[in-house]
Structure 1
Amino acid sequence: MLRLSLLIGALLAPILAMAGTHPASASTGQVPPTIAIIIDDMGHNRHEGERLIALEQPITLAFLPYRRFTTMLAKQAHRNNKEIMLHAPMANTRNFDLGAGGLTSEMGRHDTISTLRRALQSIPHVRGVNNHMGSRLTQMMEPMEWVMSELYRYPLYFVDSRTIASSVASDVAEAYQIPTLTRDVFLDHEQTEEFVDRQFQRLIQMARQNGSAIGIGHPHKVTVDYLEKHLPQLDQQGIAVATVSGLWALRNNNREMFAEGEKRAIAPALANNASQ
């Protein structure tokens, strides 16, 4: 039986080729319910990161900037046809530490943009951005406009992790005409197999109802164990797995995100010269 995660690649070959995947050939047909799985907080845990990179399915990996294993794992993930995101740390309502590369609510426009630009430059093969925490900053219109004005310059999409219901991040991204998606389900904010299974089944049900859905998990052992076991079973359930850019293509009539030459590449020189 042809794997559905490969079938969807064949149906969306022009788009997924841009995402760094290499879909196998397959006969055309109706696209099955499709999920995208983003794994946040990549870069700290080498062992679980390598297990995630080794998965056959085209999951998307969101890397924190400047962490010990970020560069090494991102390069390895790209070689294994995974899609790479910047997991941008943003101010939260509980004042948790953001670590290196954090965007705080006290920053002005220049510092916000220059910090974001350097973080983008630090992630090899970056294709998109989502927020790490951010329950404070994603509610704030002006900082979100600064963030999106910078992301607009590059061939990047934005996923609102939706850490708070009153987030304006996706609305501002759309206003800047940035390809935008929103998280549907958090998979593992309770780290038990029973909870992860319940959330994963909820993700599948949403995909069956709506055609597609996005889940976010983390490189916890319980999560990786679950994905190793259950992702290969999705074919028999009639569920496909796609990268985030592949899912965006599904929702947008196979349209390419960006025309050739439309956006500038993220280059080291840009990291040193923030917009005024």
Structure 2
Amino acid sequence: MPLKTLLTLVATALVATCASADAPAHTDADGMPPTIAIIIDDMGHNLVEGTRLANLEQPVTLAFLPYRRHTVPLAKLAHQNHKEIMLHAPMANTRNFGLGPGGLTPDMGSQKLKTTLRRALQSIPHVQGVNNHMGSLLTQQLQAMDWVMSELDRYPVYFVDSRTIASTIAGQVADAYRIPNLTRDVFLDHEQTEEYVDRQFKLLIKRAKENGSAVGIGHPHKVTVDYLEKHLPMLDEEGIAVATVSGLWAMRNNNRPMFAEGEKQVIQPAYAKHR
């Protein structure tokens, strides 16, 4: 997409975002209950907590780092247990934290960035979406986000902006490419205490009640998994639904399909096929 055209589309999307900020609270005309989607980032490192998350009864969405030791077997287990799978794509941050394999950085040219992203997608079994791991630097850069979204536009995947910095433009560029996308509302576990997770979880539910739905992001910390195992089964009694990311997107978009059949190129798996 020409950069001038992209700039115009992003500017339009930013105006629309600002205009909607003062909109009244969402009321679901179809009577749908307030709904949350919970994404667990950084999957692939921790086998014990990753297995517990894959075995949860509720439809949490699991975002896997590429090429980590337990990514492939845990993603396969999660898929068997009807979980939705995402690529947690490492992106450059403002603090120069290391990204590990599969990282996307500003010094990459277009072809290298796209090839790195494509191979990372191919390394995740059953991948349906992408969100950014860190990315406080890269998600502010229009050219880099153009390259990211032009690659993602080839495949039947959605994008979630983890919103690791307020000035991110990732969601606006995804909109410009008409890639189905959502934005994170609440981080659950910046502090790894039960009190903090409880406060953030209640904030997530509050946002869902105010707006109809909300997206929370957590991590495979023991305190987080313990909390979710205990509290997710209680949500039915509170009248709160839990959905996958694609389910939440459909709810917000009149249940229309994300992609027409045959519209996108199938992702060719390129990972070790363990039995």
With the shorter chain as reference, the TM-score category is 0.7 to 0.9
State the aligned residue count: 241
Alignment correspondent of 1:199: 200
Alignment correspondent of 1:263: 264
Distance 2:124 2:245 in 1: 17
Return the letter of the residue paired with 2:114.
I
Alignment correspondent of 1:178: 179
Alignment correspondent of 1:91: 92
SS of residue in 2 equivalent to 1:87: strand
Alignment correspondent of 1:33: 34
Return the letter of the residue paired with 1:148.
M
How far did 1:30 drift? 2.6
Return the letter of the residue paired with 2:79.
H
Alignment correspondent of 2:219: 218
Distance 1:254 1:112 in 2: 33
Q: Deviations over 1:133-170 (max 9, x none)?
A: 00000000000000000000000000000000000100
How far did 1:105 drift? 1.2
How far did 1:268 drift? 4.6
Q: What TM-score do you get using the length of structure 2 for normalisation?
A: 0.87
Distance 1:164 1:30 in 2: 34
Return the letter of the residue paired with 2:195.
E
The alignment status of 1:77 with 2:75, answered yes or no, reads no
Q: What TM-score do you get using the length of structure 1 for normalisation?
A: 0.86
Alignment correspondent of 2:61: 60
Q: 1:268 to 1:236 in 2, by over 3 A?
A: closer
Return the letter of the residue paired with 2:126.
H
Q: What stretches of structure 1 of length at least 5 have no aligned partner?
A: 1-28, 270-276
How far did 1:188 drift? 0.1
SS of residue in 2 equivalent to 1:68: coil
The alignment status of 1:120 with 2:121, answered yes or no, reads yes
Alignment correspondent of 2:27: none
The alignment status of 1:189 with 2:182, answered yes or no, reads no
Post-superposition, which runs of at least 4 consecutive aligned residues in structure 1 deviate over 2 A? none
CA RMSD of aligned residues (A): 0.8
Would the aligned equivalents of 2:124 and 2:269 in 1 still touch at CA under 8 Å? Answer: no
SS of residue in 2 equivalent to 1:66: coil
Q: Deviations over 1:96-137 (max 9, x none)?
A: 000000001111101100000000000000000000000000
